[in-house]
Structure 1
Amino acid sequence: MTKWFSAPQAIVFARVTKLAQTTFAAAIAFNLGMNPTLAGDPFRRNAPHEIGDKTEAAFKAVFQKGNYQEAERYLNQAISSEPNEPLAYAMKASLAYANKDLTSLDTYSKKTLETGQKLIEKDPLRGNLYTAVGNFLEGATMITREGAGGAAQALSRLRQVYQYLDKAEAVSANDPEVNLIRGYMDLLLAVNLPFSNPDEAIQRLENNAAPKYLADRGIALGYRDLKNYSQALEYANRALKGTSDNPELYYLKAQILHAQGKRDNNRELIKEAIANFDTALSKKSQLPTSLVQQIESERNNANNRLKSFS
């Protein structure tokens, strides 16, 4: 399903870029039950693709532990020892975005695109997939650097994103890596576009994406943005079962509880939200500074709302 976009939807692209670290960082994951004869395919138990031990370790640091400092160290090693793996560059770009490092965002977005294109001949599925990711990241860079002035170029990139996603899906429509990344993208766009139906994206994540905890996290994000808080909470709790050490998931759960508590004027939900914000902040030393500031701000808002009940 190729999607075409018009200029007013530049705002949507800007919203999506604000979730770049979750989209590309979170749209690329791993699990521990891998074929030991290959260097880390995080998605497939059958017919695995080779990725790389250092890249895999970086993903483990982010998606199980939520430890960005540890991930950065592994990624620096990956770029040296696994220079042809676009996944490593996509993660570096995501970390640069989180750290508001525009120069590195630009550099690693280009490297993601370049290595994705080079991989197409050897591995058409992942090559086309990361060519799509690279185009998305370059679009994010344009919006970040130029704001509304970069909208036209960014939208052109977004068209290319879906063209290459279609090519990757044509190789294997049920591939878990393809469905994870495309499911995140489709859902993030669907919840921000009027008259869009997010059900297809949710089903893609539910039925064909892997690893499961990261698919559940994406669905929780989608339901949160759709203001379906009971469903969002259910999927956030599912994701926590697989990654209970990740502070970002407690932050997500806190956001859901706070929003539901505001809507329902429910003091107990606000209290539970604050407890989850605090759990996330207990590991703030391993999170990007900008993310910590955002969590602290939302925690303060929740606390002020709790005081209003007195």
Structure 2
Amino acid sequence: MIARFIKVQQMYLSISMACTAILNIWGGPSFAGDPFRKDDSRNIGDQTEAAFIAVFHEGNYSKAQAYLEEAVKKEVNEPLAHAMQASLAYSNGDLGSMNTHAQQTLKAARRLIEEDPLRGNLYLAVGHFLEGAYTFKVKGAIGAVNKLPQVFSYLDEAEKQDPNDPELNLLKGYLDLILAVNLPFSSPEDAIIRFERYAAPDYMVSRAISAAYRDLKDYDKALRSIDRALESNTNNPEVQYLKGQILLNIGIKNQDSENLQEAFTYFERAMIRIEQLPVSVQTSLRHDYNKVQLEMDKLATKLN
């Protein structure tokens, strides 16, 4: 149980942001439209939308932070903005701010629930998971694991409102993928099929599926998915980093210098924009950047 929660809590913080990231990546921040729905749209606020564009199109978290600071003041009733702030704070190791914004996510969701029970329940689930992740960091796993039933309960309530809602299905689909990849006797392929069918947009779907296949060590499928994500986000350093990770794994597995060299190229591209990434991602990227160079040196020595 503890090992499962560690994996889930590490990944869910990115999910709490990713579930907000259904956006028109060619759009600008001046139109505060609904980035999730074509019909029955909601207004998320232009500052929040601008933060989406900065994070998920550009991979620029420092730029997004400036937008979010305005969003949580001017769009205080939008739980998405608070959830993103909590996630960014966690990524940068600021647990105090993370907890504050997790509480604000819950408050905004409770205010929203009468007007919009689907989104209200959805972000109550997000808020409780953020609380659980905070509890895990400061008190340990037992109290945090106890949060999971609340998360699933609120997701079930949201699903009763509209099981086909794209915002709900993106978040729930991410969670299904994580559990399917990490739990025994589960069916990752079934979760992936459901995610492809009901979640959107293609960029976020492709990126999530690529990470799932990477964790399943099915690197050929992971590459196909990440290449689809790169088509519309060529210069996003996080997407470049994910492709580099996949190529690094292939290169180590097959002892293939070409894959290792290509992984190094993608890590180099991501390193150009490393300062715009969260601290935790910077640390991981630097580690893998050094690792691929060591692997290339080891393979060259072996071949010589």
Give TM-score scaled by structure 2 length: 0.94
Q: Is the 8 A contact 1:205 1:216 kept in 2?
A: no
Q: What is the aligned partner in structure 1 of residue 5 from structure 2?
A: 13
Structure 1 counterpart of 2:207, one-letter code? R
Please state whether the residue corresponding to 1:191 is helix, strand or coil.
helix
**Contact 2:136–2:144, Cα closer than 8 Å, also in 1:** yes
Amino acid at match of 2:170: L
Query: Is the contact between residue 30 and residue 46 of structure 2 (CA under 8 Å) also seen in structure 1?
Result: no
CA offset digits 1:29-49 (Å, max 9, x no partner): 132278x99722111112211
The answer to whether the Cα contact below 8 Å between 1:247 and 1:279 also exists between their aligned partners in 2 is yes
1:198 aligns with 2:188: yes
Kindly provide the amino acid, as one letter, of the partner of residue 179 in structure 2: L
Matches within 5 A, 1:218-257: 218-257=208-247
Cα deviation digits, residues 115-161 of structure 1 (max 9, x gap): 112211110111111000001111100111123xxx22212211111
Residue of structure 2 equivalent to 1:170: 160
CA distance in structure 2 between the aligned counterparts of 1:290 and 1:180, rounded to whole angstroms: 24
Equivalent residue for 2:56?
A: 63
- Per the alignment, in what secondary structure is the counterpart of residue 128 of structure 2? helix
Per the alignment, residue 118 of structure 2 pairs with 125
Pick the aligned partner of 1:214 from 204, 212, 222. Answer: 204
Q: How does 1:12-91 map to 2 (within 5 A)?
A: 12-32=4-24, 39-91=32-84
In structure 1, distance between residues paired with 2:178 and 2:191: 9
1:304 paired with 2:299, answer no
Residue identity matched to 1:75: L
Q: Which residue of 2 aligns with 1:100?
A: 93
| C-alpha distance in 2 between matches for 1:154 and 1:214 | 27
Shift of 1:290: 2.7
Q: C-alpha offsets along residues 257-293 of structure 1, whole Å, 9 cap, x if unaligned?
A: 1111111111111111111111111101211233112
Following TM superposition, by how much is the alpha carbon of 1:14 offset from its aligned partner in structure 2, in angstroms? 1.5
Q: What is residue 289 of structure 1 aligned with on the other side?
A: 279
Paired letter, 2:262: E
CA contact (8 A) 2:12 2:175 kept: no
Name the amino acid aligned to 2:36: F
User: Which amino acid in 2 is paired with 1:91?
Assistant: M
Gaps of 5+ in 1: 1-8
The Cα of 1:242 is off from its aligned counterpart by 1.9
Please report how far the alpha carbon of residue 294 of structure 1 lies from its aligned counterpart in structure 2 after TM superposition. Answer: 1.2
The residue type paired with residue 18 of structure 1 is: Q
Q: Find the aligned partners of 2:165 and 2:131 in 1 and give their Cα distance.
A: 25
Structure 2: gaps spanning 5 or more residues: none
Q: Distance in 1 between matches of 2:246 and 2:85?
A: 28
Which residue identity does 1:12 align to in structure 2? Answer: R
Contact kept? 2:177, 2:191, Cα under 8 Å: yes
3-state secondary structure, aligned to 2:294: helix
Q: Which amino acid in structure 1 is aligned with residue 4 of structure 2?
A: V
Q: Distance in 2 between matches of 1:289 and 1:99?
A: 5
Task: Give the conservation status (yes or no) of the 8 Å contact 2:22–2:204.
Answer: no
Deviations 1:223-260 (A, max 9, x none): 11010100011111111112222100011001111111
Write out the 4+ residue segments of structure 1 that deviate beyond 6 Å after TM superposition.
Answer: none
Letter in 2 for 1:296: R
Give the aligned residue type for 1:24. S
The question of whether the paired residues in 1 share the 8 Å contact of 2:23 and 2:52 is answered with no
Superimposed CA distance per residue, residues 61-89 of structure 1 (whole angstroms, 9 cap, x where no aligned partner)? 00000101110000010011100000000
Alpha-carbon distance in 2 for matches of 1:16, 1:274: 29
Deviates most, 196-205 or 68-77: 196-205
Q: Which amino acid aligns with 1:133?
A: V
Letter of the 1:240 partner, please give it: L
